[in-house]
Amino acid sequence: MSEAYFLYHSIGQYPGKARDLAGAMAEFAMVWSAGDDGQWGHVLGLRGRFIDRWRGILNAGPGTVTTFENVTAGFHALLTALPPGHLRGRKVLVGADCFPSNHFLLNGMAEALGFTLKTVPLRQGAAYVEDEDFLDAWTPDVGLALLTWVSSTSSHRIALGPMVARARQMGSLVGVDVTQAAGLIPFDVHAPEVDFAVTTSLKWMCGTPGAGVLYVSPRLIPHCHPQLRGWFSQTNPFNWDITRFDYAPDIRRFDNGTPAVMAALASLPAMDWHAGQDKAALLAHNRALSAQVIDAADALNLPLLSPRDPAKRGGSVMLRLPERLPAGGVVAALRAQGISTDARGQTLRLSPGVMTTAAGVERLIAALTPMVR
């Protein structure tokens, strides 16, 4: 039941999503199957609208945002586009609580790009990397730092201001993975000014898989030469002179061959829905239900792994289940009662969104209480 849906850290839902998604796919089928030449003009226009919706969320200027299949692909494109030798002999800084896919990528590329991966560890028994530990590890030999704005396993939200100030002090490039809170908590690529950002449309944006985006600062774009390039990397994609290639002056240089459009088209209805919402009301709803969950966790003596202060927390509440209660069994038992949650190890992840209700939280608490006690 949608009233007890707590998976906005994974897949977001909104009223009418199935209807809107089906309508978008039906429209695509009609346009793409028409016996005329209007297909590409139509779908590229919709892709452009999808990009503009993300520009609005990130407060990003024209020509600074493009599509990628996922966060990892966008981050890879950025890394390999940097000037030759920029990272060679230097360090790339990341926290141990980053999204694992990003760490897998960095660990695999360290040798090829000649950098040393420096992972800031968790303190003993901690659920997330402390901001001060990250800052202490940020030395002048760091060529690039990837910040995880909100952790997917603790919902800890870093203080971006001091982080970006340290980047400027140390002469490092700084990027942010904003996936776990984009669309719920306001984010602005200019305040503080970051060099790049990666995210996806799956979670609070309620979109589909494959609808990732990359933002690159207009100050950095001219210095980037993406390895994967193609006809859409040019100012004029219809340049057929194979002896003459010029990168587009803006984010389009990060495009390559014929663009994949399906995920953008499928996610656009959700983006349009989100654009019409009262963002402050969405956040207030989340905060009220999150407080309800935290109060119940305290009453049940379930350790809170997320920061108690909302200013230091994303949209999720993470709880530590006792070892005597295998998390998989708890998730399955809740699912059987129509309550949607998930777990990472013994961490129960709860993310209330627009479809979640106070009654749904009460059902969650009522189901958890006999298990825990």
Which residue has 């200013």 as its token pair? 311
Nearest to 119 by CA among 105, 108, 131, 134: 134
Q: Residues 304, 317: contact at Cβ < 8 Å?
A: yes
pLDDT for res 326: 97
- Indicate the CATH number for domain 38-275: 3.40.640.10
- DSSP-derived secondary structure for 108-159: HHHHHHT-EEEEEPPPTT-SS--HHHHHHH--TTEEEEEEESB-TTT-BB--
Instruction: State the pTM of this model.
Output: 0.97
Q: Residues 315, 204: contact at Cβ < 8 Å?
A: yes
What number of H helices and E strands is found in the chain? 10, 10
**Is the domain 2-16+278-372 a CATH 3.30.70.3270 member?**
no
pLDDT for res 156: 98
* Count of positions (residues) in the chain: 373
Q: Does this chain's domain 2-16+278-372 share its CATH topology with 38-275? A: no
Q: Helix or strand or coil: residue 198?
A: strand
Which residue has 């499928």 as its token pair? 266
Largest Cα span, the chain: 73
Domain residue spans of the chain: 2-16+278-372, 38-275
Q: Render the burial of 188-197: b for 16+ CB within 10 Å, e for the rest.
A: ebeebebbbb
pLDDT for res 1: 54
Separation CA 92–CA 79 (nearest Å): 10
* Half-sphere exposure at residue 73, Cβ-oriented, CA atoms within 13 angstroms: 14
- CA atoms 190, 191, 197, 200: torsion sign: negative
Across the beta sheet with 142-148, what order do the strands follow? 65-68, 212-216, 196-200, 173-177, 142-148, 91-95, 116-120
Q: Residues 129, 120: contact at Cβ < 8 Å?
A: yes
Encode the chain (373 residues) as per-residue pLDDT tens digits.
579 999 999 999 999 999 999 999 999 999 999 999 999 999 999 999 999 999 999 999 999 999 999 999 999 999 999 998 899 999 999 999 999 999 999 999 999 999 999 999 999 999 999 999 999 999 999 999 999 999 999 999 999 999 999 999 999 999 999 999 999 999 999 999 999 999 999 999 999 999 999 999 999 999 999 999 999 999 999 999 999 999 999 999 999 999 999 999 999 999 999 999 999 999 999 999 999 999 999 999 999 999 999 999 999 999 999 999 999 999 999 999 999 999 999 999 999 999 999 999 999 999 999 999 8
pLDDT for res 2: 76
